């Protein structure tokens, strides 16, 4: 068990002082609680020998004083220990989020979003309960037993032997039920991850589900998963429902033996009635701590299962390793890009790029065209190290990109991916998302970037202008508006390298020309790579590379490629004919 909980030790060490203070308050609480049976026993003794109003008041005040001390110390115990568990939960959640933020795209291809969300919610809550209530109640049981046991032995060792005789059976029950609770809770958490993933996919794909009229089918599928989750949860609930009553039954046997043996002890004059009263109060006080063991076992098993799940996630090291960087984070980047014999494949597939060698001078522009699936997006994703190529295959300014810290490399790049993502916030915030000036961009600069992307006029027509909230994933904007907002976001960074991965696919040719006109000024003195399916997007680039089946099949200027009679020439003729037909209509 300790080995499974070892990932929590660093967090526990941070809050050693809090747990020590909480432990001190817990000792005071249990010490004062252990005094209550002695006060009651003393009162019973006085009642037997010399009953008076003053003595009753005296013992009542003693009980009140002890109760006040116990109440205050219990409050402090809960405040400190439960508070520390909340702080640790806060730390783990931040560490988990930071760890996830450092992961490259392939990590999120292997882990479903719903599964990650389950780790960040249910599992973290189970860990918090392990570090808070489970620690507090288990220590409370141990400390109170340690305080009470000497007094109970002093009253009657024989009575104590019989009273504690059933407790080994309780230990066996706890071990048996604990193992089963752990197994079932792991299954429940796995099922919860499945449900979370299913819900997340349905919410994200709401438009598609409605478009294909699949609402009823998805509801039925979710209900099936939910019924399985309920079935597993009920199995765990039945197990837990058996644990507590079984422990109560064992404790009931212990109380029965205490009454039976204690009665004989009184009859045989080995203990007095006040002593027996004290003993019974101790046994009653031990009832809840002993029963709480069942709850603690449940919390510990749940927490241990969740710690394992979170630790497995935290152990996954980013496949993009930044440790080889030798340049400072402030290293300047001019933007010269060199590809040398670049061959790349994803872990589960064949080579996507094959023997690519290419020079892109700083400040120049390169357009990449080619059929779908030829590796265009993969090629540009290797430049900001979203995926890692072989060492030395990709260079910037003559240095391997692994020499640059990721922060320096990616700060110098403005990237507009093929699949545009906008956050559920204002348009201004989305444009300023990549703000390398840390919030120092003015509204005028944000609007200027939007004008470059030919989106400012449409934004200003919204009632709230740039303060318009775009909704989750930018659902209130059209595809073209989202792409242009993403272009504005990249332009605002003022990067040395600008990468547009088919960023004009969702706009018409007129809007495309307007955007390219605005971008020409933004592209001056910065290295620009455009992935395009339309010749109109690529024709004004300094050079055009044609990528077919992962290899560079053609490279040159627009005029050179048109006259060469290859893929680009055929594409140009086809698209020119389409434009003529559309114009004639």
Q: What local confidence, expressed as pLDDT, does residue 469 receive? A: 85
Identify the pLDDT of residue 26.
94
pLDDT (tens digit, 9 = 90+) per residue, 541-580?
889 999 999 899 989 988 888 888 888 888 888 887 776 6
Taking only the tens place, the pLDDT of each residue in 266-316 is 888 888 888 888 888 888 888 777 767 767 877 888 888 888 888 888 888
Domain residues of the chain, as ranges? 2-314
Residue 94 pLDDT exceeds 80:
yes
Task: Return all residues near 498 (Cβ < 8 A) that are at least 6 apart.
Answer: 413, 414, 490, 491, 522, 523, 526, 527, 528, 529
- Closest-CA residue to 468 (of 422, 423, 428, 420): 428
Nearest Cα residue to 124 out of 259, 337, 305: 305
Q: What is the pLDDT of residue 435?
A: 67
Residue 469 near residue 418 (C-beta atoms within 8 A): no
End-to-end CA distance of the chain: 76
Q: In angstroms, what CA-CA distances link 367 with 99, 167, 573? A: 35, 78, 18
User: pLDDT by residue (tens digit) across 437-485?
Assistant: 555 667 888 888 888 888 888 888 888 888 888 877 777 788 788 888 8
pLDDT of 51 reads 64
Beta strands in 393-521 (DSSP E): 394-396, 399-400, 413-416, 497-501
Percent of the residues in the chain that have a pLDDT greater than 70, as a whole number: 94
What per-residue confidence (pLDDT) applies to 92?
92
Q: What is the pLDDT of residues 360-407, one digit of tens each?
A: 999 898 999 988 888 888 899 999 888 888 888 899 998 889 888 888
Give the global pTM.
0.73
- State the pLDDT confidence band at 322, using cuts at 50, 70 and 90: confident
The number of residues in the chain equals: 585
Any idea of the CA torsion for 112, 113, 114, 116, to the nearest 10 degrees? 90
Superfamily in which the 2-314 domain is placed by CATH: ABC transporter type 1, transmembrane domain (1.20.1560.10)
Say whether pLDDT at 91 is over 90.
yes
Rounded distance between C-alpha atoms, residue 276 and residue 345, angstroms: 79
Q: Which ranges of 268-368 would DSSP assign to H, the alpha helix? A: 273-314
């Amino acid at each position: 068990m300790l080995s499974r909980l070892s990932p929590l030790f660093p967090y526990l060490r941070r809050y050693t002082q809090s747990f020590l203070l909480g432990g001190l308050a817990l000792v005071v609480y249990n010490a004062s609680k252990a005094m209550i049976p002695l006060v009651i026993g003393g009162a019973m003794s006085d009642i037997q020998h010399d009953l008076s109003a003053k003595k009753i008041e005296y013992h009542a005040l003693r009980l009140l004083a002890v109760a006040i001390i116990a109440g205050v110390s219990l409050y402090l115990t809960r405040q400190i220990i439960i508070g520390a568990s909340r702080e640790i939960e806060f730390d783990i959640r931040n560490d988990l989020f930071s760890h996830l933020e450092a992961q490259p795209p392939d990590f999120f291809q292997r882990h479903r979003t719903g599964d990650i969300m389950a780790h960040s919610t249910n599992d973290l809550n189970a860990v918090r309960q392990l570090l808070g209530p489970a620690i507090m109640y288990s220590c409370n049981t141990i400390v109170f037993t340690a305080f009470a046991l000497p007094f109970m032995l002093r009253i009657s060792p024989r009575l104590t032997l019989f009273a504690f005789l059933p407790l080994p059976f309780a230990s066996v029950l706890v071990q048996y039920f604990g193992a089963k609770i752990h197994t079932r809770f792991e299954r429940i958490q796995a099922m919860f991850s499945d449900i979370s993933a299913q819900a997340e996919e349905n919410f994200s794909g709401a438009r598609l589900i409605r478009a294909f009229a699949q609402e009823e089918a998805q509801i039925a599928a979710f209900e099936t998963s939910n019924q399985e989750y309920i079935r597993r949860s009920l199995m765990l609930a039945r197990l837990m429902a058996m644990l507590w009553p079984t422990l109560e039954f064992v404790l009931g046997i212990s109380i029965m033996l205490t009454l039976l043996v204690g009665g004989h002890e009184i009859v045989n004059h080995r203990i007095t009635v006040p002593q027996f009263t004290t003993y019974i109060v101790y046994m009653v006080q031990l009832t809840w701590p002993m029963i709480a063991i069942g709850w603690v076992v449940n919390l510990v098993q749940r927490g241990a299962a969740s710690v394992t799940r979170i630790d497995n996630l935290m152990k996954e090291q980013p496949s993009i390793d930044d440790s080889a960087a030798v340049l400072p984070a402030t290293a300047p980047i001019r933007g010269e890009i060199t590809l040398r014999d670049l061959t790349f494949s994803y872990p589960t597939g064949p080579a996507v790029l094959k023997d690519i060698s290419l020079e892109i001078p700083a400040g120049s522009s390169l357009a990449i065209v080619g059929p779908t699936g030829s590796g265009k997006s993969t090629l540009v994703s290797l430049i900001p190290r979203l995926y890692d190529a072989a060492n030395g295959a990709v260079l910037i300014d003559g240095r391997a990109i692994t020499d640059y810290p990721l922060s320096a490399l990616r700060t110098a790049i403005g990237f507009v991916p093929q699949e545009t993502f906008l956050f559920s916030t204002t348009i201004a915030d989305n444009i300023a998302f990549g703000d390398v000036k840390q919030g120092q961009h003015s509204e005028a600069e944000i609007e200027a970037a939007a004008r470059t992307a030919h989106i400012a006029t449409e934004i200003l027509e919204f009632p709230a202008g740039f303060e318009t909230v775009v909704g989750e994933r930018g659902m209130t904007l059209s595809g073209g508006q989202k792409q242009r907002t993403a272009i504005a976001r990249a332009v605002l960074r003022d990067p040395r390298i600008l990468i547009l991965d088919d960023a004009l696919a969702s706009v018409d040719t007129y809007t495309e020309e307007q955007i390219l006109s605005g971008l020409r000024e933004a592209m001056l003195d910065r290295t620009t790579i455009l992935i395009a399916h339309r010749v109109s997007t690529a024709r004004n680039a300094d050079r055009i590379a044609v990528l077919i089946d992962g290899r560079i099949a053609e490279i040159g200027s627009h005029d050179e490629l048109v006259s060469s009679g290859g893929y680009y020439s055929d594409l140009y003729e086809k698209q020119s004919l389409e434009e003529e037909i559309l114009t004639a209509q």
